[in-house]
């Protein structure tokens, strides 16, 4: 099977898994389907020459699955019989159709798949090993040429964990503070 056939097959798989994840009535099936879509994505990464991303995607996927199952699926849920809001469904579907139609027309003008313009990254590939000593060019880009982005990335994950701690505090407001400050 050529790369293209495999790619289309995997993309179809991801789309089907995403539809199942969104439409399944059972939350556990939803969560498992979205993890399946993530696994498909990680195989695409492997296929398109990105083993770093494949590893990361798989472990992150496992972690998301664990978090979602432990956190959400074990809890009682009452939305199975809920009827969707017709206006929202029609609006959502219309917007999505429009998006796909516009994309199908406009993306013909993009640089085609398989032949990227590498104005910025050509020198990265050429110099990564000699200038930074990183044989893995992705690490060379990530931690030397564009290390500042990675600082931002580390900060994002830091902010989200601190945010999760903050949200899961048992008590947010002090009720007795009024008397203290009025003294």
Partner 1 sequence: MESTLPILVALPLAVAFVMPLLEKLREPEWLIDLIATLGSLGLLVLSVRLVGAEVGPYWMGGWDGTGGVFGIALKCDGLTRLMLVTISGVAFVAVLFSLAYMRRYTSKGFYFCLFFLMVAGMNGVALAGDMFNLFVFLEVAAISSYALVAFGCESEELEASFKYLVLGGLASTFVLFGVGILYNLTGTLNMDQIHAQMKGLAGNPALYVAAGFFVMGLGLKAAMVPFHAWLPDAHPSAPAPISAMLSGVLIKALGVYTLARVFFSVLGPAPEYAAVLMALGALSMIAGVLLAVGQWDFKRLLAYHSISQMGYVVLALGIGAAVLSRPGGSRVVAGLAIFGGLFHMFNHAAFKSLLFLCSGATEYATGTRQLKELGGLKHRMPVTSACCRVASLSIAGVPPFNGFWSKLIIIVAAVQAGYLWLGALAALVAFLTLVSFVKVQRYVVCGELPERHANVREVPASMCVAMVILAVVCLGAGLLVPYMMAPHVGLLDQAAEALAPGVEAVEVVLGGVAP
Partner 2 sequence: MTAPYVLTMVLLAIGIYAIACKRNLIKVVIGVMVAEYAVNLFLILLGYRTGGFAPIRTEAMDQAAGAAEAAKSFAAASVDPLPQALILTSIVIGLGVVALLAAMAIRLHEKYGTFDVSEMRKLQG
Partner 3 sequence: MRGMSPIVRTVTSLVSGFILLYGIYVVLYGHLTPGGGFAGGVVLACCFILMVLAFGAPFVHGIVSERAPYLWDCIGALAFLAVGVLGYYSGQFFHNFLVPAASRGADPTVSAGNYKLLSSGIILPCNVAIGIKVMACLFGVFVVLAAFRPAPKAQED
Contacts with partner 1 by CB under 8 A lie at 102-103, 105-111, 116-124, 126-127, 131, 144-149, 151-153, 155-156, 158-160, 162-167, 169, 171-174, 177-178, 180-182
Q: What is the DSSP code (8-state) at residue 109?
A: G
Contact 10, 3 (CB under 8 A): no
CB of 165 to partner 1, least distance (A): 7
Residues 85-144 that bind partner 3 (CB under 8 A): 127, 129-136, 138-140, 142-144
Please identify which residue in the block is written with the tokens 């993306």.
107
> Which tokens go with 12?
């179809």
Residues 155 to 174 in contact with partner 3, rule: CB under 8 A: 155, 157-158, 160-162, 164-165, 168-171
Q: How far is the CB of 183 from partner 2 (least distance, A)?
A: 33
d(CA 149, CA 121): 15
Residues 65, 31 contacting (CB under 8 angstroms)? yes
- Residue 19 binds partner 3 (CB under 8 A): no
Q: Is 177 exposed, middle or buried (0-12, 13-18, 19+ CB in 10 A)?
A: exposed
In terms of Cα–Cα distance, which of 166, 168, 170 is closest to 158? 166
Q: Site residues (CB under 8 A) for partner 3? A: 51-52, 54-56, 59-60, 62-63, 66-67, 70-71, 127, 129-136, 138-140, 142-144, 147-148, 150-151, 154-155, 157-158, 160-162, 164-165, 168-171
């Amino acid at each position: 099977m050529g790369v293209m056939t495999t790619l289309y097959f995997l993309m179809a798989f991801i789309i089907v898994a995403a539809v199942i994840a969104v439409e399944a009535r059972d939350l556990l099936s939803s969560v498992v389907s979205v993890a399946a879509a993530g696994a498909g994505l990680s195989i695409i990464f492997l296929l398109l020459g990105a083993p770093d991303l494949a590893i990361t995607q798989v472990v992150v996927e496992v972690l998301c699955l664990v978090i979602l199952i432990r956190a959400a699926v074990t809890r009682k849920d009452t939305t199975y019989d809920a009827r969707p809001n017709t206006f929202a469904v029609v609006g959502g579907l219309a917007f999505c159709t429009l998006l796909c139609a516009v994309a199908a027309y406009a993306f013909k003008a993009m640089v085609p798949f398989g032949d990227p313009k590498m104005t910025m990254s050509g020198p990265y590939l050429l110099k990564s090993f000699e200038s930074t000593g990183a044989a893995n060019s992705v690490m060379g880009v990530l931690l030397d040429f564009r290390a500042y982005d990675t600082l931002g990335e580390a900060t994002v994950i830091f902010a989200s964990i601190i945010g999760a701690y903050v949200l899961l505090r048992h008590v947010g407001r002090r009720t007795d503070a009024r008397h203290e400050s009025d003294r």
